[in-house]
Amino acid sequence: MVRFPGKRRPSGRRRGTGVDRACLGETSVAERPFRWGILSAANIARRRFVPGVRAGTEGEVVAVAARDGDRARAFAGDLDIPQAYDSYEALLADPNVDGVYIGLPNILHTEWTVRAAEAGKHVLCEKPLSRRAADVEQMVAACSKASVILMEAFMYRHHPQHVRVRELLAAGEIGEPTFVRATFSYAMPQERRAARDVRVQPELDGGAFMDVGCYALNAARLLFDAEPTEVTALQRRDEALGVDTSFAGLARFPGDRLALIEGSFDANGPARYEISGFRGSLLVERAFQPESNPSTITITRPGERYSVDVPGTDQFGQEADHFVRSVRAGHLLAPAENGLAQARALEALYKSAETGQAVRLDAPA
């Protein structure tokens, strides 16, 4: 553990860091590291995002905030972060923070994205932004009004294996892609369910599709580079918990292409996608959590099967760097997105599962 020298200061006051950050505040983001503030002391920030920023090249973490000041100070001390705050408002008021990573429960994404935008902070918000399109429209509008960047934190999009997949598709390795199968499942232990894990609390917008199934939907949209025109879905609900624990959807895309998408807390894997075309199929086994290990893309065609190896990387680091480059460019750089189209599709799938009817989606404006 990194220990602060002497007695720890109250969370609402800046500690000296040996750097005049007021002076740095006058320097363009293009000329210095991007200064991150972390809203939430959740495990994903501690174990993934902060180490990811440090594995990258474009930013530094300068502050963290939690509603519990002791938790924020412990987080800052463990990870050697200069500043800890006992409120999100205090962090947003810090002029030395350029942008924030929001790792809060789903239900809080809209409020704190809007408040961050109003404070002039760029926003990288954990996925999914919301299950309601109206929420994301509000987030997008607030960020647009404040001239700040909003990016939905689907970290897998920034891993080089998916860049390579799109290159192979563009090269015609499997012919015209017509069908996607994407799934992300894991068996959530009963003790976590009984303890009311944040992922199974309906008041926090929990559920299997919100937690992991949304990756499968996002992958289908990425692979087809299009938005669904019609969806139908079924869900397995745990009525005691009040959320879906398994979810399966079928989405139709332009050109009569189809995608089967799944997410579950009731199955021990897998987490992969496969896209098929007239000449063959392409499979990515560890599609969403390859960690820093090398990954493999498998191509199968009549009479042949071969693999393409992709070096390992820290995908959270790639995501953080991509966000900073988007900020410097003044707009989102592909394959990042602000999450509005994702929310519209996600909302339609939930509506179908709840009504038992297919739901058509309007073409994007």
Q: How far apart are CA 245 and CA 187, in angstroms?
A: 10
Evaluate whether 250 touches 259 at the Cβ level (below 8 Å).
yes
- Active-site residue flag, 121: no
* Backbone dihedral angles phi then psi of residue 206, each to the nearest 5 degrees: -80, -175
Beta strand pairing call for 271-277 and 177-185:
antiparallel
Give the closest residue to 262 by CA, choosing from 185, 157, 360, 353.
Answer: 185
Q: How far is CA 214 from CA 132, 343, 356, in A?
A: 13, 9, 19
Q: DSSP states of 133-195 as a string?
A: HHHHHHHHHHHHHTT--EEEE-GGGGSHHHHHHHHHHHTTTTSSEEEEEEEEE-B--HHHHHT
Q: How far is Cα 84 from Cα 15, in angstroms, rounded to an integer?
A: 9
CA distances from 230 to 227, 257, 344, 348, 355 (A): 9, 11, 11, 8, 14
Annotated catalytic residue within 7, 121, 127, 145: 127
DSSP state of 120: T
Q: Note the helical H segments in 56-149.
A: 69-79, 88-92, 109-118, 133-145
What spatial distance separates the first Cα and last Cα of the chain, rounded to whole Å?
51
Q: Which two tokens stand for residue 350?
A: 């939930």
Three-state DSSP at 305 gives strand
What gap in Å lies between CA 281 and CA 277, rounded to an integer? 6
The reply to whether omega before 105 is within 30° of 0 (cis) is no
Catalytic residues: 127
